[in-house]
Amino acid sequence: MEYRAVMPILGFDTITNWRLVAIDDIFYRLENKEGDGTPSFTLIGPETLRNDYAFDLPESAANALGLEKAEDAMVLNIMIVDTPLENSHINFAAPLVFNKKNGKMGQVVLENGKYPDYGVAEPLKKFLDTQRSAS
């Protein structure tokens, strides 16, 4: 699906047109629709790794995204992919929020004091180890 960034991805303020492509049930790719397709980001659904991931979307963000119902939103996190995969990192501090109904998206930077457990570059290995311990 194609999305228009109404709250830009930090560092990529001039890019407003994006395409979200599902790679599988867990991973997505967010591609720049402008120019040559660069940059692109690998995204992951936070519920895949942690069941404690929740935050209050600021009213200003909900308004900018045109979100009226929670079920219209999809939250994904940017993943910095490394080899081997378990050496990858996830940004839980600045999720991307997509309005599935109207095609708007944006990055929301969470308040560190309010969400101290959500880091900018949390190691994937930390969550894989937690899931293995729980099973």
> Domains in the chain: how many in total?
1
**What pLDDT score does 35 carry?**
74
Close Cβ partners of 103 (under 8 Å, ≥ 6 residues apart): 1, 2, 3, 4
Q: What is the CATH number of the domain that holds 36?
A: 2.30.290.10
* pLDDT at residue 134 tops 70: no
At 18-61, the pLDDT tens digits run 999 999 999 999 999 987 778 999 999 999 999 999 999 999 99
Residue/partner pairs of 9-15 with CB below 8 Å, 24 or more apart:
9/41, 9/78, 9/96, 9/107, 10/94, 10/107, 10/109, 12/39, 15/39
Question: Average pLDDT of 61-86?
Answer: 96
Distance CA 61, CA 101 (A): 16
Instruction: Return d(Cα 96, Cα 132) in angstroms, integer.
Output: 27
State the pTM of this model. Answer: 0.93
> By C-alpha distance, which of 24, 32, 56, 117 is closest to 75?
56
- Residue 9 CA to residue 99 CA, distance in Å, equals 15
Residue spans of beta strands (DSSP E) within 64-119:
73-80, 89-90, 96-99, 104-107
> What is the arithmetic mean of pLDDT over 99-108?
98
Q: Which helix (H) or strand (E) holds 3?
A: strand 2-7
What is the extent of the structural domain holding 105? 2-134
